[in-house]
Structure 1
Amino acid sequence: MSDAPTPRDPSAPPRIAVEPNSGRAESLRAAVVEGGGVLADVEDADALVWADAARADLMPGLLARGQQLRWVQLPFAGIENYVHLLDDERTWTCGKGVYAPPVAEHALALALAGLRHVAGYAREQRWSAPVGRNLLGARVTILGGGEITASLLELLAPFGATTTVVRRRSTPMPGADRTVTTADLHDALDGADLVVVALALTPETEGVIGAAELDVLPSHAWIVNVGRGRHIDTDALVAALDAGRIGGAALDVTDPEPLPEGHPLWTHPRAIVTPHIANTPEMGIPLLAARVTENVRRFARGEPLLGLVDVDAGY
């Protein structure tokens, strides 16, 4: 399918359905109107803006009712819950790039907290010995070549870190010292002081960090995951932490998720866990609303939309 919808008559504003009726829907309806769209029921709509990432189960029924839908906007960059619904009959967009700056900021915070032993000091009840490493001049490997990585590279620039990006293609990533393909993953991990996982979850990336990859890392290395929990083999990670084979892990996403009470990662002295809050709803809704407004404007003019989903790749 073409990247852009068929040009519309500018005098006929696009009819947009916003579903389901969740807490986020009101803001997104306002965003549709700001973009020049007209709110409509899904049966009469040209496009569908999805308002609740937790209710992907409702989408098949709405798609069946909206036979004329030409564009579907998904709320998050991660679309693994919707992959089975993708088709070539509609243009699909997602939140690619929308949340990248706050997620990159959180990745940097986790990296500094890990390397600087902030969590360990916070758990102490008495003055303790000095521990920690600099991010300044560190060797950083980032898995993923999307907008989070692009934002993170900008944040890392003042630290003078040597950065390697691992992605599907070896196309150079602006701001990275080196860009390699996943075939060179082990080489990119070897000698890294910090590894950041910022991938889309696909069958190819699930379990990309397992025991073999953890064994390649230096014993002081920290791994930060702001992608999806299933990118890392949790059992292998816990074993590596227990054995002191890596410096630590700072995770905003886990497998399983939510992480159960009593799981060893919660209290592990080498682990930091945050509950998938690199981008909170309060931070994210204004950002998503701005994307929806812009895409409605583009849809009305027949221009290429932002955040296009690669239907074949599944992200």
Structure 2
Amino acid sequence: MRVRAERLLILPTAEQLAGTRYAEARRGPTEAVTQTGGAVVGTDGSPHGDGDATALVLLTPIPVEDVRAALKANPQIDWVQFPFAGIEAYVPLVRSRPEITWTSAKGTYAPPVAEHALMLTLALLRHLPERVTATSWGQCRGKSLDGARAVVLGGGGIAQEYIRLLKAWDVHVTAVRRRADDVPGADVTVTTDRFDEVLPGADVVMLAAAATDQTRGIVGARQLELMDDDAVLVNVGRGVLVDTDAVTAALAAGKIRSYGTDVTDPEPLPDGHPLWAEPRCLITPHTADTPEMCIPLLDARIRRNLAARAEGRELEGLVDVEGGY
């Protein structure tokens, strides 16, 4: 049964998105809210709408203060949809407004990001970072995923999709997450306090966790020391999960085989940083989920959540306010 006709504020405005790759991203939510009997508000270009919006959808990251201002200008707003999974910059605002339903894009981009993580994993195991710059034949080296042992930090959509892909190679997977619930597809699930315990013996350590107070710096000098010298480390979560100085030193000392990452701390990684010159490091510039990949996936999430709101059903991607993701 339909319970409301949504008045949707979409930010950034059409004028702000004009000429960008996100310009078309407004069309999907506009069509969806119209189909459920609602309307888009704030089409006059006002960054805060016309004061009677009931919901706010973000299509790109915008400053926290702009979100706060939009909420102040539209006191009826009781749902906010973020366009990303990592909401660490917005956590204080989220926690200060418990009366609002907050949803993120967590799980939405799992297929492309997990695919990217798998690409990094295979590239590291086959020594591709060294080979792409080689000018001579070199040694015959490489390691197969078949029958390997992997540790995956995270239990959300990206982690689950990555585990599903690994199973094509009969990989033994230990998942590490904040809660004790089993991660689908994993052979073993342990809580984050046991992360150090499961690192020895892993061929692959993949990070897909959100950035929280508990996960910042979770891979530091101690964890890199616990990993096997032949292990590879992959990060598609957040740069702050890894101590950049520690991983730089570990690679230089041969403590781990290689490091592949789509995220860095700081981000972007400055020109001239030692990691750029490290032959066993593969860095991609936060391209595991490009706009071309993300816009259709985010559009589908927004459409489903608008339909759920209209019909009084639970929304997808509810933010864990306590956990901060």
- Coarse TM-score class (shorter-chain normalised): over 0.9
Aligned mate of 1:299, from 284, 295, 309: 309
Provide the aligned C-alpha RMSD in A: 1.4
In the superposition, the TM-score normalised over structure 1's length comes to 0.94
The structural deviation recorded for 1:13 is 2.3
Go from structure 1 to structure 2 and tell me whether the alpha carbon gap of 1:62 and 1:25 turns closer, same or farther (over 3 Å shift): farther
Q: In structure 2, what is the equivalent of residue 30 of structure 1?
A: 28
Q: 1:253 offset after TM fit, Å?
A: 0.3
Q: Tell whether 2:85 aligns with 1:77.
A: yes
SS in 2 for 1:123: coil
Determine which of 45, 52, 59 is the counterpart of 1:44. Answer: 52
- Structure 2 residue 274 is matched with structure 1 residue 276: no
What is the distance in 2 between the residues matched to 1:256 and 1:193? Answer: 27
Residues in 2 aligned to 1:70 and 1:28: alpha-carbon distance in whole angstroms: 20
Alignment of 1:63 onto 2:64: no
Q: Distance in 2 between matches of 1:247 and 1:257?
A: 23
Moved segments of 4+, more than 2 Å: 22-26, 28-37, 54-57
Which residue does 2:187 correspond to in 1?
177
* Distance (Å, rounded) in 2 between the aligned partners of 1:312 and 1:235: 30
Do 1:32 and 1:293's aligned partners in 2 also have CA atoms closer than 8 Å? Answer: no
What SS does the corresponding residue of 2:132 show, helix, strand or coil?
Answer: helix
Shift of 1:26: 4.3
Q: Tell me, in whole angstroms, the C-alpha distance in 2 between the residues paired with 1:213 and 1:84.
A: 29
Match of 2:45 in 1: none
Contact 2:203/2:232 (8 A) holds in 1: yes
Distance apart, 1:263 and its partner CA:
0.7
Q: Which residue of 1 aligns with 2:46?
A: none
Q: Which amino acid is 1:74 matched to? A: F
Work out which structure has the larger RCO, using CA pairs closer than 8 Å and 6 or more positions apart in sequence.
1
Aligned counterparts, 1:128-277, within 5 A: 128-277=138-287
User: In structure 2, what is the Cα distance between the partners aligned to 1:101 and 1:69?
Assistant: 31
Amino acid at match of 1:38: A
Give the number of equivalent residue pairs: 307
Deviation at 1:44, TM superposition (A): 1.2
Paired residue secondary structure (1:179): strand
Q: Which residue number corresponds to residue 319 of structure 2?
A: 309
What do the CA deviations read for 1:204-246 (whole angstroms, capped 9, x no partner)? Answer: 1100000000000000100000000000000000110000010
Deviation at 1:8, TM superposition (A): 5.5
Moved more, 250-259 or 40-49: 40-49
Fraction of identical pairs, as percent: 47
Letter of the aligned partner of 2:6 in structure 1? P
Q: Which moved more, 1:50-59 or 1:138-147?
A: 50-59
Q: C-alpha separation between the residues in 1 aligned to 2:310 and 2:206?
A: 38
SS for the counterpart of 1:53 is coil
Contact 1:298-1:304 at 8 Å conserved across structures: yes
Shift of 1:122: 1.0
1:16 to 8, 18, 24: 8
Distance apart, 1:270 and its partner CA:
1.2
Give secondary structure in 2 for the equivalent of 1:96: coil
1:3 alignment partner in structure 2: none
Distance in 1, matches of 2:62 and 2:274, equals: 27
> Unaligned stretches of 5+ in structure 2?
43-48
Distance 2:301 2:170 in 1: 32
**Distance in 2, Cα, partners of 1:266 & 1:90:** 43
- Counterpart-to-counterpart distance in 2, 1:309 and 1:25: 26
